[in-house]
Each structure stands twice: as C-alpha cells, then as structure tokens.
Structure 1
Amino acid sequence: MFTLLTINFCSFAQKNIEIIKFSDVEQLLQKNDGIRVINFWASWCKPCVSEMPVFETLANEYQYNRVSVIFISLDFKRDIETVKKFVAEYQIKSQVYLIDEPDYNSWIDKVSPQWSGAIPATIISNGFKKEFYEQSFDYQSLSDKIRHFF
C-alpha cells in the first residue's frame, strides 16, 4: 500500500517552477537538442488553459522524437503560488517557467515581430528554424506544425 501511494504521488509531482528572465527564453530558443514547443500562457487566460491538454498530449506522444513542450507563464511573479496550484491541479508534467519581465513591450518583438502580445502564443523551434503562432491549437493542427520540423 505504501509503495502504491508513493508512485501515485510522484507521478503527479511537478518540478519546481523556475522564475526566468527573457535572456533565459532566448537561450531556450537557441538550443538545437531537439524540437522545442514553447507556449506562452497565463492561468487567467481561458483559451490558454483550454489548449494545455493538447500540448501535454503532444509532449507525451512525441517524447521519443526529441520533442519537448515548455510552458512560459505570463502571470505576475507575485502570483507564483497560483501558478503552482494551477500546474498541480491540472497535472502538468511539461516544464513550466514564469517569466519575470513585466515590461512586455521590451521583449515580445524579440520573440517574434509578428507577436501583438496576445496569448496564447507558441514558438516551435529546433535551434535553426523557428515558427511563431499567435493562436490556439487543437491536437491535429499542432501535430501538423511539428511534422514540418522532422
């Protein structure tokens, strides 16, 4: 019985949510150790929350193809506990960061000149090629975008 409880607890445990700066995002985009799907979201954004299971399914199904999903929360730093509770409640297993750069206008153009600042927004990158999408995704459309990177 004890072992079963431990396994269940560990399987839903979320890694610590790291607070990062934009320079860290730039480093994530430059890595070429596989395909990175980086989703910008916030816990208060209903379309963002609705599509998160799509990204989690994709991460699970493509994990052996060197595809990783990274969520970057645009919630305020002071709301880190809310983000942690959200991640635990929704059992998010992908890496989650919270960006501490409140002056969005100073960095969103560096992510993509096409980004108006609206979320959800997603970047797919392999370190050499980068595509940006300011939209919500269903599984099929996200999977189709990933296939362009193979």
Structure 2
Amino acid sequence: MKLLITFSIIIFLSVNYTSFAQKSIEVIKFQDLEKLMQKGDGIYVFNFWASWCKPCVAEMPIFETLANDFRLNNVSVIFISLDFKRDLDAVKRFVEEHQIASQVFLIDEPDYNSWIDKVSPQWSGAIPATLIIKGQQKEFYEQSFDYQMLSEKIRHFF
C-alpha cells in the first residue's frame, strides 16, 4: 500500500512539474511573423511587447483572460516579444513566472525600422502595440488596453 501511495505521489508531482515547466519560446524572423499574420482560420490578436515595458506587462493578464474567454470563438492571442535575443532566457523566466499560456515568440530583427511599417504603416514603433487580424481584415492599435476596450475591438471581427 505504501508503495502505491509513494508511486501516486511521484506521478502527481511529475505531471504538475511538467505543466509548470519553462515554456518554449521560438525565436523568429520577420518573414516568420508574416506567415503567422497570414493565417486565415480565425481571429488573431498579435500583441507586441517587451519584458522591460511596464504598460506591456500590466496588460498581459488582460490578453490572457481574453484568450480564455474567446477561445470558443476561434480567437488566438500571440505575444511577440521585442526583447533582445540575448535575453531569451530572461524572457522565458518572465513567461513562466507570469504563467503566460498563449503562444510567445521573440522576434530577432534588431532593425525595427525595416519591418514595423510592414506590420502597420500607423506604427511609430512604440509599445505596447496590438494587431488584430481576421483574414484580410486588420486593425492596428498603438496603445494599452483594458479588458472592456479589447473585447469590444475583438467583437467587431465577429
């Protein structure tokens, strides 16, 4: 009986540890981001952020809540980190500590001026910034969001 209990505890701890294991964050180039932005099977919310940006960090739980609340409406949140590639381990720790469940990518394109206009001509380069896409329909926002404002923007795509 003790063996069964011990074995059960080990299995329980192993399963729980893997659920909190460090999330893999893929480092991408702009061409990879372009491919992500061309998905046509739902509504995609791309949030451009950095771990050192206080307004970005403050609004991340709002995006996570939205992702959970609108999952059945085929809404996906994708975080695009603008942190430096050399800070990847710190970004991974940040994502783990803040329990970010949505996909997170780190874009390795240090010359921002070469690609931000391709995301949106309206983008000055400031963060937080959000791009919402459904098929060919796109809306870009260079601002912070609260839950109500962000959910209203998403509902325009239904």
- Answer whether contact 1:36 1:124 (CA < 8 A) is retained: yes
TM-score by length of 2: 0.91
Please give the alpha-carbon distance, in whole angstroms, between the structure 1 residues aligned to 2:11 and 2:61. 28
- Answer whether contact 1:14 1:91 (CA < 8 A) is retained: no
Q: Gapped runs of 5+ residues in structure 2?
A: 1-8
Per the alignment, residue 51 of structure 1 pairs with: 59
TM-score by length of 1: 0.95
For 1:141, give the aligned amino acid: M
Alignment of 1:103-114 (within 5 A): 103-114=111-122
Match of 1:41 among 26, 46, 49: 49
Please give the alpha-carbon distance, in whole angstroms, between the structure 1 residues aligned to 2:26 and 2:78. 12
Please give the alpha-carbon distance, in whole angstroms, between the structure 1 residues aligned to 2:96 and 2:143. 25
Alignment of 1:91-110 (within 5 A): 91-110=99-118
Shift of 1:142: 0.5
Match of 1:68 among 57, 73, 76: 76
- Answer whether contact 1:14 1:93 (CA < 8 A) is retained: no
Per the alignment, residue 3 of structure 2 pairs with: none
Per the alignment, residue 130 of structure 1 pairs with: 138
RMSD over aligned Cα atoms: 1.1
- Answer whether contact 2:23 2:96 (CA < 8 A) is retained: no
Give the secondary structure class of the aligned counterpart of 2:110: coil
Per the alignment, residue 29 of structure 2 pairs with: 21
Give the share of equivalent positions with the same residue, in percent.
74
Shift of 1:28: 1.3
Larger Rg: 2
Give the secondary structure class of the aligned counterpart of 1:135: coil
Per the alignment, residue 115 of structure 1 pairs with: 123
* Runs of 4+ more than 2 Å apart: 1-15
Structure 1 position 78 matched with structure 2 position 86: yes
Please give the alpha-carbon distance, in whole angstroms, between the structure 2 residues aligned to 1:14 and 1:64. 26
Q: Classify 1:50/1:141 alpha carbon distance in 2 versus 1 (closer, same or farther; 3 Å).
A: same
Shift of 1:24: 1.1
Shift of 1:4: 3.2
- Answer whether contact 2:23 2:95 (CA < 8 A) is retained: no
How many residues align? The count is 150
Q: Gapped runs of 5+ residues in structure 1?
A: none
Deviation by residue 1:55-86 (Cα, 9 ceiling, x = unmatched): 00011111111100000000000000010000
Match of 1:31 among 31, 34, 39: 39
Per the alignment, residue 144 of structure 1 pairs with: 152
Please give the alpha-carbon distance, in whole angstroms, between the structure 2 residues aligned to 1:92 and 1:12. 10
